[in-house]
Structure 1
Amino acid sequence: MEQIGTFGASPYEVGDLQLFNGCDERTTSQALAGCAIVRLPHGAQVKDGYSARMYIVLRGALEVAADTSSGMSDGTVSKVLPGESVGEQAVLDDTANLFAISASEDSDLLVIEADLVWRLIDQCNGLARNLLRLLSFRIRAANAQLRRRQKLGEFYRQLSLNDSLTGLYNRAWLNDMLPRMVATAQRGGTPLSLVMIDLDHFKRFNDTHGHPAGDDALRAAAGVVSAGLRPTDFAVRYGGEELMVILPDAGEQLAVMVAERLCWRLQEVVVFQDMRQGLPHITGSFGVACLAGDASETTLIERADAALYRAKQAGRNRVAL
């Protein structure tokens, strides 16, 4: 930044400065007369060091990116136009600016040191009111930005917990939620059942029809499973062609009933909409396990997996408990 003069020797007037609306122009002009005016070339940054000071744009424009020192900036940039100011918060809490301030075009800036800002606040109630309005507006804008970040964060969090192919929950979700469900069921003395599903001869299906068709089959199977559950149940892609269903508040009889219904519906699933390609027979083997005593989630999965193995050994396309 290069000093090119002072406010008192410039053509600019107090009426051009938004923060001083309602202040006595003659008194304020006298107070600002010795304040430096600096020129900031396009692309250059304001270098504040450890000083707290306020800048008012007289000509040109500034771009301000917040929170750069904490590494939390999301790339949001605000623009400061002629008559507007930046650095008020730094003055009020006596810290160096935490903002990256740069010129989006060649700009002239009025520099007001912190001690002068405080003297002017003491002299003019209008300045104090203007500062409060400005800070209130910026707090509202910051809160709105925070809400947007939270929504975006939740969106990406949900993406990270869902399988991209089937839309079902994934293993990351399962590893987080199943222990909680087991603990809740044990604490409340309520039943919890788990159904492990394996699509029969899926490797043969892929070899015969190709992997894109295999993906279609997985999506179709996931759709059948999702559509056959209660709103309180959960469907997970456990891995490969294995799916899992978690049934809170469901005992053995209800869990077997759900598994048998899904087994039957899976046989009817349409994988290819173009019937000229034929309709391959898609079936699944189902293993059901119910939470017993103080068993862990690992034990519950192992028991469902053992039941699944028995269903395969018995000829597949069936349910084993």
Structure 2
Amino acid sequence: MKKITMEAIDLTAFDLFKNVPLELINEIMSEHSVYTIPAGQHLVKRDFKNSALYLLLEGEVEIYLDEKDKPLKIISAGDIIGEISMLDQQSATASAISLCECRIIIINEELIWELVEKSHLFTINLLHIITNRFRGVNSQVISSIQKQRLFEHKAIVDDLTKLYNRGWLNENFPLLLERCKKDMYPFSYFMIDIDHFKKINDTYGHQVGDFVLQLTGEILNNLSRAMDYVVRYGGEEMAMLLPNTNVEDALGIAERVRHTIEKKVIIYEPGKTLSITVSIGVSTLTRFETSADLIKSADEALYYAKVHGRNQIKFNDGKL
């Protein structure tokens, strides 16, 4: 660290000393010097005490929460470093490392309190810098939370149909089923397949196929009750989870789904329409079934419905 004099430095040009009388600055800062430090030097080190505030005159300083990671931010000339750990007298929560050769003024704790005592303008400047910094941190935290929520949403929701995805089903189906078992409520499950979907893709193209998937998902959502869950199981297969629903009610809901989709006229281009149908396999909880059992049972019923003509509903009563 190379020490040089403070001659010809106008500290009032920096936010920390804005509007502070020059006479007071000269009186208090007259014994202080400007230091030149090389690149890669710690000004503040995480988990260590810090007893000074650093005013960066020239250069850039990187802030790290963990030095193995990318820097959290870069401090530029005119800003200050180390103010929080100096004021609260706790170990620093981040490291500050010079990115290049820098010129700094080191203002120790004793001098800071002298400036606070003698100049309310200095105090206001310091508080303004600190509050802006906290505001910036809060914005980063909010942004981080929003990104995390978006990531969590993408982890459980299918991008195309906006229905829950297979990952959500694998995690939540067993929990929903166990809750119904515990409360001795019925539970029904649908496997739904869009009939001849490959032919739709081959005839009209994948863009129309995607539109059909989206529209089918929308219809299922509109027909579902508040307690139901609709899932894109994979490809053209979708599923519905119906808690507290016995087989008679489930078959009634399944018929509404089948009928609504059959009657829907899909306009995929101006003046061009197509219609689709679905096959539905239904299973219901008796006593000991697991989520895997209900999926397998509904899948068997779905296969039966497709083999026997499609556009129909089949309940797996164990006699398929």
Provide TM-score, normalisation by structure 1: 0.77
User: What's the RMSD between the two structures over aligned residues?
Assistant: 3.6
Q: Residue 118 of structure 1 corresponds to which residue in structure 2?
A: 109
Q: Distance in 2 between matches of 1:101 and 1:254?
A: 70
Report the alpha carbon displacement of residue 261 of structure 1 after superposing the two structures with TM. 0.5
How has the CA–CA distance of structure 1 residues 208 and 86 changed in structure 2, closer, same or farther, with 3 Å as cutoff? same
Alignment gaps of 5+ in structure 2:
316-320
Number of residue-to-residue matches in the alignment: 305
Q: Residue 11 of structure 1 corresponds to which residue in structure 2?
A: 8
Q: Is the 8 A contact 2:187 2:246 kept in 1?
A: yes
State which of 89, 98, 108 in structure 1 corresponds to 2:95. 98
Q: How does 1:63-212 map to 2 (within 5 A)?
A: 64-69=62-67, 71=69, 77=73, 80=76, 82=78, 84-91=79-86, 92-95=89-92, 97-99=94-96, 102=99, 108-112=103-107, 117-120=108-111, 126=117, 135=130, 138-212=133-207
Task: Give a deviation string over 1:272-321, Cα, whole Å, max 9, x none.
Answer: 34365452x41111011122324221112112112212222332111111
State which of 219, 224, 229 in structure 2 corresponds to 1:229. 224
How has the CA–CA distance of structure 1 residues 185 and 72 changed in structure 2, closer, same or farther, with 3 Å as cutoff? farther
Q: Does 1:263 align with 2:258?
A: yes
Secondary structure in structure 2 of the residue aligned to 1:250: coil
State which of 246, 254, 260 in structure 2 corresponds to 1:251. 246
- More deviation, 248-257/232-241: 248-257
How has the CA–CA distance of structure 1 residues 47 and 172 changed in structure 2, closer, same or farther, with 3 Å as cutoff? same
Sequence identity percentage? 27
Task: Give a deviation string over 1:174-222, Cα, whole Å, max 9, x none.
Answer: 1122122122222332232211101112223323333332222222222
Alignment gaps of 5+ in structure 1:
none
- More deviation, 224-233/120-129: 120-129
Q: Residue 284 of structure 1 corresponds to which residue in structure 2?
A: 278
- More deviation, 267-276/302-311: 267-276
Q: Residue 56 of structure 1 corresponds to which residue in structure 2?
A: 55
Q: Is the 8 A contact 2:266 2:273 kept in 1?
A: no
Q: Distance in 2 between matches of 1:21 and 1:212?
A: 61
Task: Give a deviation string over 1:51-75, Cα, whole Å, max 9, x none.
Answer: 84531134x57465452536376x6
Provide TM-score, normalisation by structure 2: 0.77
Q: Distance in 1 between matches of 2:33 and 2:197?
A: 76
